[in-house]
Every structure is written in C-alpha cells, then in structure tokens.
Structure 1
Amino acid sequence: MMKLSLTIRDSVHGDIDIKEEIAVKLINTPEFQRLRRISQLAGGQFVFPSASHTRFSHCIGVYHLVSEMLETPSFQEMYSKHEQLLVKLAGLLHDIGHGPFSHTFERINKVTNANISHENYSTLLIKSSTTNINKILTKEFSDSEIDELCQIIEGKHPDSVLSSLVSSQLDADRMDYLLRDGQTSGVDYSHVDTQWIIRHLFIKDKKIIFPLKVQYAIESFLIGRYHMYNQIYLHPLSIGFDLTFEMMFKRLYDLYHKNYRFKNNQIITLLKPLLNGKMMTAEQYCFLDDYTLFTGLKMLENENDEVLVTLIRMLIDRKFLRKINSRERNLEEIKNNLIKKYKNHYNYFMVEYNLKPVKLYDSNTKPIYIDTPDGVKCIMDVSEVLAFKNNKKQTATTIWFSIGEKYVSE
C-alpha cells in the first residue's frame, strides 16, 4: 500500500513536504480542519483586512520549521527518529486547542476567574478518547509518549531542548507567526532569517546554542517581534475588539447567573460550562469556531436586554470600544453621559485597560545562548542593543476604552 504524503504550497515557506503518514492523517481530522475556521489575529483582521489567515496555516508552518530544526546535525545525533516524530507532531498540534478568535477567547477567564488556557484544551483534544486525533495517536504512541507530546506543547517536558523548539523565546512558533502575521498585515517589521538561524543552531550541555555570527539575525528577530507587538498585536482597535468581546461575555455571564430567561437557549446551552467557569468537553469545544460563535451571538440579537444586544451589534458591525484620548476628553464627563443612557450598566461600555510594556527580551524566561570566544553566554550579555533597551525602566500604562466616537454625548 502506498504511504500517505502531502505537499502544501504555503505563502510563507513555499512547498512544505509532509512525509509522515501520521501527520497527514492528523491534518485530515475534523479537529485539525476546524483550525481553518479559527482566525490567527482575531481583532487584528479588523485593522488589516488581508490579515485573515488562520491557525491552520500557522500550525502547518510551525511543523515545517520544527522539521527543519530537527534536520541539523545535533538533533540527528542526539534524538531517535521516534523522538523527532513526537516533536514534529507537537509543533503540528500545538494550537489545536485554540478557541474562536484565538487568544481573544481566553479573555473569558477574566470574567469567570477560571484559569483555562488553549494549551489545556490542546491536551484535552489530544487525550480525549472521543477525538479522531486521539484515535490516530494511540495507534502510534503509548500513553506515556502522548503525555510527553503534551508536555512539549505546554513547555514542561523534562528535556528542555525539546520543549524549546515549540515554547521558548526563539522557537518555531514565534518565527512562523511573525513571518505570517507580518506578511498578511502588509508590514516589513517582522522579517526573520529562519534559514540562517536554524542552519547554525547546535546542542551543548542540554542547551540550544547559536554561534556568534547568528547574533545579528537573532537581534533582528527580537526587534521585529517588539515592533509587531506595538504596531499590530496591541493596535488600539484590536484591543477594542478584545475588550468588547470580554464585556459581551461578561453581560452574558451576569444575565445567566441572574436567571435571565433567554429567548434563544441554543448558544447558552453550548456555553453553559464556560458560564460556570468549567472546561467544555472535547465534543462541545470542537463545535466552537469563529463562525458558529458569531452565528450563535447573532441569534441573541432579539433578546430584551439592551446592554447585551448593543455589545453583540458592536462586535458584528465593527463598532468596538474605542481608545479614549484622556488629554482631549474628560473621563468623568464620558462616564456621566454613559450613566444617563445605561444607568448602573455603564461599566460595560467604559473599560480600563492595563497596557504592559513590551519586552524586547525577557531575561526571566528561557534564555537565548550565544557561543562566544569567552564561552557560552546569554545574548543579553553579548548584545549592546538588548542590554540598552532592557536596562530602561518601563511601567504599565492605563488606557480607557469607551463606546463610540462621541461617547454617547448626545
């Protein structure tokens, strides 16, 4: 019987050859195909119209870059083909647990005080006996190996080298999303010389290390990521989408716990575990994607609650909460105008956002190591650019977002 293989034409990496039969089978599962309906940038697509790519293409890209890393001599010498396959599949499945609108969906946790990440759902979909992904994996791997796969995705594998391929400051995940997000949004900040970086990496003393000549490519990667966060990921309109979604779910949550009688219970029944601060089952979660969630919300447009209906229409019509210029607008005046219209529900339409400074390099997480003539050092101790930026004191900025450009002043 002919072995399954697949070649995918990717706009970022060109032809991606998927030679492992199990990887092809996983891609063809309903759970993985669902990622075609999960937007990568969520609110970013409302700022940059062409940035409508999905978690599906990103996961394929991460698989490709992990595969290239594993082709380097160090990995070929130190890890078996079976171990390498496990890491490739971790790259492929690392975002399988993302909910509708990716990271935006996790803002539900701020409402319910739960601590449920998309990595938790990735583990659920991989380990649940009801999923096609689990059925495929259990034919190839033991339970302990599947546990390892999940540990790599969560960045908790005992072998930190394997974890760092998917979860570190210079991993396949970050390299792909910077390239992909930069390309689709139409900016040039995020060019990453992946070939140069990957070709020269090697393993020593249980660490991934880069020679000194790769320093500038890594600095470019880190600076590009810094600019992408400030220009793309933290764009005020993108944040506004996140906050509007959060406030919409907060209103849904408040009404549910006040025993409000919804006219349409279909979406409420589906979201019931989340409204109770619990995880959904694998079957329930796989039903959720950008399309089904928006369809469910549109069914609530006929509810009698003005606050909920207003927030839902704001999401549908791209009229998100907008950033307030506190130098030009009086916050107390805006608040009073909102109180006149929405009474004690005004706080759904005026939200405080704590904008944390973006770090060029995070010295508190897994370091990037450079091989210098004086021995292996953290890139912070080698790079003048990173040392200068990280030594500057940075504090969080409080930003207010409110409804509409006129802030209900009429």
Structure 2
Amino acid sequence: MNASAKDLERFFCEIGVRIKELYKDKEFDSDKIARVIPKGSLIKQKSDLILKEDDESINKEIKSLYNHVLPKIGEGLIPHNIPERFWLIYLLVAQAVRIAALLHDIGHPPFSHVVERALDRVYRETNEDSVNKNKWKIFSKNIGELANNHEQLHEAMGERIADDIMKQLITNNFSGNYDTHSQDSLFEQLLRLCVCHILKEKNEFKLLHRIIDSTLDGDRLDYVMRDYRNSGINIGDLEYKRIINEMKLAYVETEKESSFHFVVPVKAINTVENFLRKRFGLYKDVINHHRVIKTDTLLEDIVYRLSRKYLESSDVPHEQNGNEVAIPYDISGLWVSLDGTTSEERISLLTQWNDSWLMVVLRATYYNNYFFENEVDDHVLAQELTELLRNEKQYYSLIKRREDVTIIGNKIKEVLDGQRDLINRIKELNNQTKQEQPVNGEIEIPANSPKVFLELFNTNPSKMISFFYRNISAFIYDEDNFVKDVYNICRDVCKDGFIDVKPVFKKLKDGISSGTKCIYFYSDNSFYTLSELSDIQQVLQIESDSVPLFYLYVVPKNEGDIKQKKIEVLEKIGNELGNKIVATLNNTLEVLK
C-alpha cells in the first residue's frame, strides 16, 4: 500500500478505533454469532484485542477470525507493507470499499436523476390538502422521509437498499454452535456496518467514500471515457496509470484542515488536467446537449404530472400485501416499490424497478388515455408523451446554442449602453476606496462590486448572462431569484402564440470539488492543491461562459413562422433581462451609496 509507515500506522489506528466501536453499534447482532464466543466477553475481548500492538498478544479468537477469512479472500490481497496486526482491519476496509463502490448508485430510480428530480418536486410542491390523503400518506412515507434527511433522494434510497442486501447475506448462527459460521457472521456484520458508515460518510470512513465520490474518484474515471465511447465520440485515451500507480495515502496538514487524503504525484498534473477537460467536454457535448436536455425535461415533467394526477384522484390507493411482490403497472410503482415489509420483499420489488418497467407504464398511459382522444384532460401531457414515445416533434428549441444566447446578449448590451447616467455613477463609485461592508446587518456587498459592474458593460454579448450569473454576489440579488426571474420572463414573453413553454436552467459545472473532496498533489513531503499548480479551473470557467445558461423549448400554435418568431422572442427576452439587470444595478448602487 503506497503510504509511509507513519501514515499507515496512524490511518489504521484511527480506522481501527472506529471498527472497535462497531461492536457496540445498535445494529450489531451478537445473537447471530451465538454461543461459540461467550456473549458477555464478546464485545470486550474483540474490541480490546483488535488493536493490540504486539502480534503475539493477539488472542486465539481474533487470530482465528482473519485466518478463517484469509483463505476465502486471498492473502495476496494484503499489501506487503501492512503489519500483521492490521490485517483484519485492512481486509474489512478493502472489502467494504469494494462493496460500497458496487452499491453506491443502487438507489437510483428508473432513468436515474430525471425521475429523482420529478419525485422530489412532487413532494416539495404538493399541498397535502389538495390530494388524496391515503395516497399521500403512502407517498410521503416512502419518499418524504428520504427527501427530508438527504441532499439527494437516490443517496437515501441507496443506503436503505444496500443495507437490505447486506442483511440478507449475513450468516445466522443463532440456532447452531458452529465455529465456522460464528466467524463468518462476525466478519460479515462488521463488514456491513463498515459499508454503511462509508456510504453515510461517518467520521474516518468519510475518507474511504472519497474513493467513489470526489473530484478524482473511481466512478468518474470509469464513466467519463465509457460514456464518450458509447456516444460514438473519439477523444483519445486517458493515462490512468500516471494517476493511479503512484497515488498514495497521506496525512495532509494545511491551514484549513488536517486529515487523510489520497494524493496524486505532481508529475501527473497534466494527466489530471486532461481528465478534467474530458469530463467537462462530456457534459458540454453529450450530457448537456440540447436534445438530451429536452428529452430529460419531457420525461421529468411527465413523471411529475402523472404522479400529481395519481395523488389527486379519489380512487383507492394501491397497497402491497404480504403475498404481493410485483410492482403495480401505474406511476405509483415508483414509490410503492420502496414499501416492502421485509428486506426480502423490498429487494424483490426493486429488481423490477427499472427503465423497462417505467416505459411500459408510460406507453400504457399514452395509448389507453391519450392516443385516440381528441379532447384530453391534460393537453400538455399528451404533447409530452407524443414526442417522448412516438418521436413526433412537438417541442421546438428556441435556445440551444451560443448564437441564440448571443441574440439575447446583444439586446441586453443595447439596454445597458443606453444607461449613460448609470455608467457614470458606477465609474464614480469605482474611483472611491470602499471596504467590504455589511448592509442592514445582513447583506454583504464585495468591495470590488463597482469593478464587476464595469466589466459587465464590456463583456462579450455571448457571455453576458453567464458573467452576470457567475458574479451575482456583487449585486443585491441571488441565484434562486435570478433563475425564477428568467423562468417568468420566458413564460411571459411566450404566453401568446405558444401552447406550452419550458425554460430549463442548466449551469455547466467544472466538476472540481472543494473542501474535503478536493485534489491534493504531493512532491517529496510537500502537498499542493490543484489551484496552486494549475489554472484549469479558470480555463473551464471561461469555456463554460460560452455555453447557454438556460434552454427554451416551446410548442407553437403555428409551426410555419417558428424561425421568425424565434428571433422576436429572443430579443424580447434580452430586453426584459436587460431591464432587470439595470434595476438590480440601480438597487445595488443605492445601497452602496
């Protein structure tokens, strides 16, 4: 294992302390280990002896545990530089990371983040008083509790599913007195708890989660190249060996933090930059392609609308009974599948919880309720299903490329250039020396705000919206309100002449994490952050400014004049956004004054 002897000792001692605590975890089931090891002494003996410094003092039971495990896993898995007293800890950690890597995305619903966003919207935007209370009870039980306790729904689902799977695999020696089964159960229970702690990023296990969730994790190193190839785009290869072969575990001490990191050699900086460019390009060219975004938006809105219609209907909700392990063929299957009474039932339900099942539900809904009907209760839903399932174009893209954003930017610039008095006030303010100051005890405006205002006036029209959004902290404004204003302006401008309007906000991120998930590089005994060695983040930021910040899809009442209407709509949006920016500038200047 690539690490200094000092760092190895410190790391395994810290992880060992946490593993020691697992014996006292409420989820640890000593009954499954049974009578081979006396219950009264089990926790004490194993906890105290797992970290013994002297090899000879490791007692017979602990020695037999990893002697029992080694033949199954293979001694060759253990690096030569790990002392024998840490072998059991290493085996637990190595296997736990492998299992966590396999299971970390298992909580994704059909069509992954798209359906996840739809379910989250349903939960957060639905008024309980406006829906069927019995149906809402089932929905909120399965989705609400998870959504409230996690930043992302799939993470909560994944933790529950992963734990269900591992519980099924633990050897139960309660009814027997077999030493082999006892050792299996002990190791498997510790392994299960280690995996749960990794996925939940508890204490020192947070470091191990970075292997599968960070700027430079195994998941990203895999999917970036795979997705490019599957998309038919040849971008060359990535020199994995330069990143991985000399990556090492090190204790990094900086002004901001002191903790363990998996650090990359400085000589691999060009390869890391190349990887970050490839990841950025994947999102820019493939994942955030305007047609992909349109398809994702249609599917998300379809799931949202069908879920709301189901919750608002008065019929009796579907409930799983003890003998039923088939997902219902309606939209409620998205959350009913999480409602099994036992782990085995939930696993059986979730094996059916996939893309194919959802497509069957959508097709049945469309052909039964919308295909032959001239008048349908939800015309927008019919339009969405028609394009998604029959590939008949209903929605046209008004904003999809840089040139579309440039039309809007030119109009914004035209509005700003007409504000000569405003420009003079900004220049006057910029000439004054101002410190960063709190406003009304709550708002802080950066001292360089006037400089940012002047830069906005001189920004290339194609990048004007992105520049404003990126520097929004310089204004009395915030990201959420800006997004809402963009949506409202688009809908208001398009209210005449269009059946449906879908503005979609998509900020292209650089994929470079900060804080505990950032990349550290090493050279001898010195450590450096990515920003200390490279300007790749600034390069990607400049490139992202040329990508549309939002997209606009519409269903026109008359397809014939869509091209002419497009320019007219974009200019109106630019004019309204320009007026909004001017109002924001005036408001900010008043506060500064």
Q: Aligned-pair distance for 1:110? A: 2.3
Question: Do 2:310 and 2:332's aligned partners in 1 also have CA atoms closer than 8 Å?
Answer: no
State whether structure 2 residue 240 is matched by structure 1 residue 166. Answer: no
The amino acid across from 2:90 in the alignment is: S
User: Matched residues in 1 for 2:293 and 2:353: separation?
Assistant: 22
Cα distance change of structure 1 residues 291 and 249 upon mapping to structure 2, 3 Å threshold:
same
Correspondent of 1:267 among 318, 330, 333: 330
Question: Do 2:497 and 2:558's aligned partners in 1 also have CA atoms closer than 8 Å?
Answer: no
- 2:161 alignment partner in structure 1: 125
Q: Aligned-pair distance for 1:292? A: 0.8
What is the percent sequence identity of the aligned residues? Answer: 22
- 1:242 alignment partner in structure 2: 296
State whether structure 2 residue 376 is matched by structure 1 residue 313. Answer: no
Q: Aligned-pair distance for 1:155? A: 4.6
Question: Do 2:497 and 2:556's aligned partners in 1 also have CA atoms closer than 8 Å?
Answer: no
Correspondent of 1:188 among 231, 234, 243: 234
Greater helix proportion: 2
Question: Do 2:115 and 2:303's aligned partners in 1 also have CA atoms closer than 8 Å?
Answer: no
User: Matched residues in 2 for 1:75 and 1:91: separation?
Assistant: 23
The amino acid across from 1:335 in the alignment is: K
Correspondent of 2:307 among 242, 245, 253: 253
User: Matched residues in 1 for 2:108 and 2:122: separation?
Assistant: 18
Task: List alignment gaps of at least 5 residues for structure 2.
Answer: 1-76, 125-143, 172-183, 252-259, 319-327, 341-345, 370-375, 409-489, 563-593
SS state of the match for residue 503, structure 2? Answer: strand
- Counterparts of 1:375-390 in structure 2 under 5 Å? 375-389=526-540
Q: Aligned-pair distance for 1:152? A: 2.4
User: Matched residues in 1 for 2:216 and 2:296: separation?
Assistant: 26
Task: List alignment gaps of at least 5 residues for structure 1.
Answer: 1-69, 340-348
Q: Aligned-pair distance for 1:381? A: 0.7
Question: Do 2:216 and 2:519's aligned partners in 1 also have CA atoms closer than 8 Å?
Answer: yes
Cα distance change of structure 1 residues 389 and 237 upon mapping to structure 2, 3 Å threshold:
closer
Q: Aligned-pair distance for 1:170? A: 0.5
User: Matched residues in 1 for 2:556 and 2:81: separation?
Assistant: 56
Correspondent of 2:121 among 101, 106, 110: 110
User: Matched residues in 2 for 1:166 and 1:365: separation?
Assistant: 13
- 2:22 alignment partner in structure 1: none
Question: Do 2:243 and 2:268's aligned partners in 1 also have CA atoms closer than 8 Å?
Answer: yes
Question: Do 1:240 and 1:401's aligned partners in 2 also have CA atoms closer than 8 Å?
Answer: yes
1:254-287 alpha-carbon deviations (Å, 9 max, x no partner): 322332669x98314424659xxxx554344332
1:314-351 alpha-carbon deviations (Å, 9 max, x no partner): 22123474432367899767432334xxxxxxxxx322
State whether structure 2 residue 437 is matched by structure 1 residue 285. Answer: no
- 1:204 alignment partner in structure 2: 250
Q: Aligned-pair distance for 1:73? A: 7.4
SS state of the match for residue 517, structure 2? Answer: coil
Cα distance change of structure 1 residues 360 and 273 upon mapping to structure 2, 3 Å threshold:
closer
SS state of the match for residue 98, structure 1? Answer: coil
**Which moves more between the two structures, 137-146 or 70-79?**
70-79
Q: Aligned-pair distance for 1:243? A: 0.8
Structure scoring higher RCO (CA < 8 A, sep ≥ 6) equals 1
Q: Tell which structure's C-alpha radius of gyration is larger.
A: 2
- 1:335 alignment partner in structure 2: 495
The amino acid across from 2:521 in the alignment is: I
Question: Do 1:334 and 1:408's aligned partners in 2 also have CA atoms closer than 8 Å?
Answer: no
Correspondent of 1:96 among 93, 106, 112: 106
State whether structure 2 residue 504 is matched by structure 1 residue 353. Answer: yes
- 1:23 alignment partner in structure 2: none
User: Matched residues in 1 for 2:245 and 2:158: separation?
Assistant: 30
Question: Do 1:152 and 1:166's aligned partners in 2 also have CA atoms closer than 8 Å?
Answer: no
Correspondent of 1:82 among 88, 92, 108: 92
Q: Aligned-pair distance for 1:93? A: 1.7
Q: TM-score by structure 1 length? A: 0.67
User: Matched residues in 2 for 1:295 and 1:243: separation?
Assistant: 19
- 1:346 alignment partner in structure 2: none
Correspondent of 2:281 among 227, 236, 240: 227
SS state of the match for residue 522, structure 2? Answer: strand
User: Matched residues in 2 for 1:379 and 1:312: separation?
Assistant: 45
Question: Do 1:359 and 1:390's aligned partners in 2 also have CA atoms closer than 8 Å?
Answer: yes
SS state of the match for residue 84, structure 1? Answer: helix
User: Matched residues in 2 for 1:269 and 1:390: separation?
Assistant: 41
SS state of the match for residue 336, structure 1? Answer: coil
Question: Do 1:321 and 1:402's aligned partners in 2 also have CA atoms closer than 8 Å?
Answer: yes
SS state of the match for residue 335, structure 1? Answer: coil
1:277-318 alpha-carbon deviations (Å, 9 max, x no partner): xx5543443322111111111111222534333322322123
Correspondent of 1:398 among 541, 550, 555: 550
Question: Do 1:230 and 1:358's aligned partners in 2 also have CA atoms closer than 8 Å?
Answer: no
- 1:15 alignment partner in structure 2: none
Cα distance change of structure 1 residues 310 and 393 upon mapping to structure 2, 3 Å threshold:
closer
Q: Aligned-pair distance for 1:76? A: 9.5
The amino acid across from 2:169 in the alignment is: I
Q: TM-score by structure 2 length? A: 0.48
User: Matched residues in 1 for 2:267 and 2:507: separation?
Assistant: 32
User: Matched residues in 2 for 1:100 and 1:405: separation?
Assistant: 33
- 1:9 alignment partner in structure 2: none
Q: Aligned-pair distance for 1:373? A: 5.8
1:86-142 alpha-carbon deviations (Å, 9 max, x no partner): 1111112222222212222212212332535222222222222xx5x5412566655
The amino acid across from 2:216 in the alignment is: L
- Counterparts of 1:49-60 in structure 2 under 5 Å? none
The amino acid across from 1:338 in the alignment is: F
RMSD (CA atoms): 3.7
Question: Do 2:502 and 2:554's aligned partners in 1 also have CA atoms closer than 8 Å?
Answer: yes
Question: Do 1:157 and 1:163's aligned partners in 2 also have CA atoms closer than 8 Å?
Answer: no
Q: Aligned-pair distance for 1:228? A: 0.8
**Which moves more between the two structures, 215-224 or 353-362?**
353-362
